[in-house]
Amino acid sequence: MFSYLRYFSAISLILVVVTAYFVGMYFRSIASEDLITLVEKNNAALAQGYINSTWKKHYNVLIRLWRIDVKRWGNYREFLEFKNETLDYFEEMPVSEINIYTLSGDLILSTDPSKEAASFNSEEALAFNMAKQAQNTSRILDDKEYYLTGGQVAYGTFIQTFTPILSDFYVPVVANNTQAKVEAVIELHYNITPQWEKLWNFQIVSMGGIVLIFVILITVLFVSSRKAEGIIAKQHEVNLELTAAAAAAEAENRDKSQFLANISHELRTPLNAIIGFSEILKTEAIAKLEHQYQEYMRDIHSSGVHLLSLINDILDFSKAEAGKLEVNISEIDGVKMVKNSMRLVIPRAEEAQVTLVEDMPDKHFTLQTDAKKLKQVLLNLLSNAVKFTPAGGEVKISARHNPADDSIVIEVSDTGIGIAPKDISKVMQPFGQVDSKLSRKYEGTGLGLPLSKKFVEILGGTFNIHSELEKGTTVTITVPRLFNRDSQPA
């Protein structure tokens, strides 16, 4: 996953560099246009100042010279005076080169001694023609060679401006002059090298700043991703360890369940023999035994029955845990089953001086379920309720049909010692028992509630318990009226 992040970061860096470059070029072009506009206005002002001061002063001389070839102007003293005054004027101005042309493109004079004639490239020719139409035109010249004060050659950036020389006088001798007031064109070169370097430096700094910020963010992202990658790797190792531990625990649990099932099956065989022989002795030979031995025989029989019941619970729970518990579905009368279960716990309730209360509907209802398992659940719940209810207390069972979801709701409540909310999860665990004085008075393995919950879930229902200390416990089971094998837990 993080390898894609590295590729994305590398591509993003390239895109940011390219974008920053073009954004810098865009803003630089905007700044260049503003600078050109400013210099163009400045050059136009310089040209107009020159026209008003020098050009107009020598205007009469220029009219006479215009009648002859420009190349012969240098032979006249009046032109040399005009040229010297022109050079003196622009020497005080912030321009590096000045060229003046006739409308036909002939060079009148230049501050560059090496320049003898006009030589325009395509862009300069276009700018010259626009100046002839009384329009100022400027462009940037990069890496232009120029001379410093000491005669040293340098290279810089200039703005070249072609400005028309406009006069209030009409010059009729210029036949191709379509604009009567445009008499000549002046070319000015303005040195913007310092300003251009500042723009370039600003562009570089801006690009560098954007790239640097992005690199910092990418670095932070990389560091964070590496840390996250390490954490994920460690978490993956922990998950593998937990998975292995869970698999081992599940295997141990299956082995335990299988062991309990096997040992329970092995114990039931001798126990059945003990119970069977003790019943024979109790019914046939008990009259021949002394009273003390009669009590021993009854204890052997009751202990065997109780131990067999516990073993059966362990065997059933082991099968349920292993998912091997079979379900035998039949249609039964729910009301009759509840009443039959109540009758079986009446002797124990009378012995414990606990009142049993039934709350049954007048109309009987039928349901499809495993009658044996549902009855065992009810007996477990009623026996627990009687066992943990003090003398004078009450155990109540109610049953009703819920037409909303076509289910049967059975509640067993008591007024016994109750269970603390924090201990409910404990009693629902296999072999879990709450340490109380009353619970120690009775035998039990702690499988009653967990086994009942397992049976209810196998029947497709739900098992809920609500209890408060010293107020009692209410267990609610809900099973579907029509059994659906798809609702069984996996």
Domain count, the chain: 3
Lowest mean pLDDT among 54-63, 106-115, 278-287, 419-428: 278-287
Q: What is the CATH number of the domain that holds 406?
A: 3.30.565.10
In the chain, the N- to C-terminal Cα span, in Å, equals 35
On whether the CB atoms of residues 461 and 453 are closer than 8 A, the answer is no
| Residue 91 or residue 187, greater confidence | 187
Q: Residue 70: CB partners within 8 Å, gap ≥ 6?
A: 102, 106, 107, 108
Residue 462 lies in a domain: yes
Would you say residue 197 lies in a domain? no
Q: Average pLDDT in the 234-242 region?
A: 88
Phi-psi region at 472: left, alpha or beta (left = phi > 0; alpha = psi -120 to 50): left
Residue type, 172: P
Q: Are residues 107 and 127 in the same domain?
A: yes
Segment 424-479, tens digit of pLDDT = 877 777 665 665 444 445 555 567 788 888 889 888 899 999 998 888 999 999 99
My answer on whether 172 and 70 are in the same domain is yes
- What pLDDT does residue 3 have? 64
Parent domain of 356: 328-487
Of 325, 356, 371, at which residue does a domain stop? 325
pLDDT of the residue at 190: 86
How much is the pLDDT for 486? 65
* Same domain assignment for residues 305 and 415: no
Mean pLDDT rounded to a whole number for the chain: 79
Report the pLDDT value the prediction gives residue 380, as an integer from 0 to 100. Answer: 87
Each residue of 62-91: b (16+ CB within 10 Å) or e?
beebbeeebeebeeeeebeebbebbeebbe
In a domain, 178, yes or no: yes
The answer to whether the beta carbons of residues 315 and 250 sit under 8 Å apart is no
CA dihedral 265→266→270→272, nearest 10 degrees, is 10
Question: In which band, very low, low, confident or very high, does the pLDDT at 296 lie, cut at 50, 70 and 90?
Answer: low
Label residue 56 by pLDDT band (50, 70, 90): confident
State which of 325, 340, 369 marks the end of a domain: 325
Does residue 8 or residue 362 have the better pLDDT? 362
Q: List the alpha helices (DSSP H) in 2-70.
A: 2-50, 59-65
Q: What is the pLDDT of residue 87?
A: 86
Residue 352 within a domain? yes
Which pLDDT value is given to residue 24?
A: 74
Confidence of residue 386 (pLDDT cuts 50, 70, 90): very high
96 C-beta neighbours (distance < 10 Å), count: 18
**Helix spans in 105-192 (H):** 122-132
DSSP three-state, residue 445 = coil
Pairwise CA distance, residues 5 & 101, whole Å: 64
The H-or-E segment that residue 418 falls in is: none
Are the beta carbons of 482 and 367 closer than 8 angstroms? yes
* Region 178-196 average pLDDT: 79
Residue 1 has pLDDT above 70, yes or no: no
Regarding whether 244 and 166 lie in a shared domain, the answer is no
